[in-house]
Amino acid sequence: MSKRDYYEVLGVGRDASERDIKKAYKRLAMKYHPDRNPGDKEAEASFKEVKEAYEILTDADKKAAYDQFGHAGVDPNRGGGGFGGGADFGDIFGDVFGDIFGGGRRGGGQRQAARGSDLRYNLELSLEEAVRGLTKELKVPTLVGCDSCDGTGAKKGSSVSACGTCHGMGQVQMRQGFFVTNQTCPTCHGRGKIIKDPCSKCYGNGRVEKTKTLSVKIPAGVDTGDRIRLAGEGEAGEFGAPAGDLYVQVTVREHPIFVRDGNNLYCEVPISFATAALGGDIEVPTLDGKVSLKIPPETQTGRMFRLRGKGVKSVRSHAVGDLLCKVVMETPVNLSERQKELLREFEASLTGESKKHSPKAEGFFDGVKKFFQDLNS
């Protein structure tokens, strides 16, 4: 009896990825497994067929030979023993279910010491510090390699041996039905090593707590949300493994005068009624000191003035932003009787000429009048 096409057996196309092949195999193997179909010879035969197709199509060399020559290109007896016919069922399913249960195929090298954890340091800066840049000293509590045992965890003169229970893997396999799962080794607690004579300083951990003092250069132009990476300044790795990194997370405090938006700065500048009406020169603050700003006559409150190049230099492109000044006319307070009288005289002098002196107000009230006329018509 001729064999079916392996792709047809698994229900996948010839361009299927290895992941798609594994997914199809897992679904069909669960469907036809003899444990789920006791005494069903057809299910057992289907299971053998599915397993054979999977083993061929997940082996790069065998798959290439099969794609070129069909069944003649691969040994028909290889992997054909099926369930109970040679290969350990736990080994067969290791690659398929490993991502679910944390396991894989048995074997492989000993457990590698884990790289140290990355650390985060929150650094708060003033606007001036962020704009100009500076060098900061940071005190960072972390784990460093023990200098007494050179990070091995073993007392000087003693040695570290592989765990006899897990043979250095850090995990042991547990069987549950036809599933094989990996669990942390109860003897070495996942380390893969046994230290019979631990270091008296780090108690066998290979690392000790320490507060490091680091000098960090903060580039000019950083802003809230920017992050500076210091390679190798995180926690020390296990038993001599590489250290993690330290990430300095920047936050810029609110400023009493300026608001930053990217590379631009904004501020509000109060001006008097007389300056707004007649014009004049006023002093405007910048991060580099005061500058003079010319206010033209008849300036309305809320008008924006741009001072080019007085913003922030970008930390990435080195382009310099602008300072945008919004002028706000300030109503005078605590007036004397004479001042009030002068204002009344000034107000009276405008009578009959509102369109000339206050075009916006005149237009607004004309619009209000028309609104009520239309409402009542």
What residues form the annotated binding site? 146, 149, 163, 166, 185, 188, 199, 202
Nearest to 74 by CA among 99, 57, 95, 51: 57
pLDDT in tens, the chain (377 residues): 567 888 889 998 888 888 889 888 988 988 888 878 888 888 888 988 989 889 889 888 788 888 877 777 775 544 433 333 333 343 444 444 443 333 443 444 566 677 889 999 999 999 999 999 999 999 999 999 998 988 888 888 888 888 888 888 888 887 766 677 788 888 887 888 888 899 999 988 889 999 999 999 999 999 999 999 999 999 998 877 889 999 999 999 999 999 999 999 999 999 998 999 999 999 999 998 999 999 999 999 999 999 999 999 988 888 899 999 999 999 999 999 999 999 999 888 877 665 566 666 556 556 666 666 667 76
- Side chain identity at 104, as an amino acid letter? G
| Pairing assessment for the beta strands 264-271 and 323-329 based on DSSP bridges | parallel
What residues form the annotated binding site for Zn(2+)? 146, 149, 163, 166, 185, 188, 199, 202
- What are all long-range contacts of 311-318, with beta carbons under 8 Å and residues at least 24 apart? 311/263, 311/264, 311/265, 312/131, 312/221, 312/260, 312/262, 312/263, 312/264, 312/265, 313/131, 313/220, 313/221, 313/263, 314/221, 314/263, 315/219, 315/220, 315/221, 315/222, 315/223, 315/226, 316/221
Nearest to 78 by CA among 47, 52, 48, 49: 52
Sign of the alpha-carbon torsion through 42, 48, 49, 51: positive
- Exposed/middle/buried for 56, CB within 10 Å: 0-12, 13-18, 19+? buried
Specify the pLDDT at position 101. 39
Residues of the chain with CATH 2.60.260.20: 119-158+198-252, 259-329
- Side chain identity at 185, as an amino acid letter? C
- The token duo for 91 is 């080994």
- The token duo for 182 is 């990996």
How far apart CA 328 and CA 333 sit, in angstroms, is 15
Q: What is the DSSP letter of 70?
A: G
| CA gyration radius, the chain | 39
- Exposed/middle/buried for 308, CB within 10 Å: 0-12, 13-18, 19+? exposed
- Side chain identity at 77, as an amino acid letter? N
Nearest to 280 by CA among 293, 267, 266: 293
CATH number of 6-87: 1.10.287.110
Q: Is the pTM of this model over 0.75?
A: no
Residues of the chain with CATH 1.10.287.110: 6-87
Q: Which CATH architecture has domain 259-329?
A: Sandwich (2.60)
Specify the pLDDT at position 135. 95
Fold of the domain built from segment(s) 119-158+198-252: HSP40/DNAj peptide-binding domain (2.60.260)
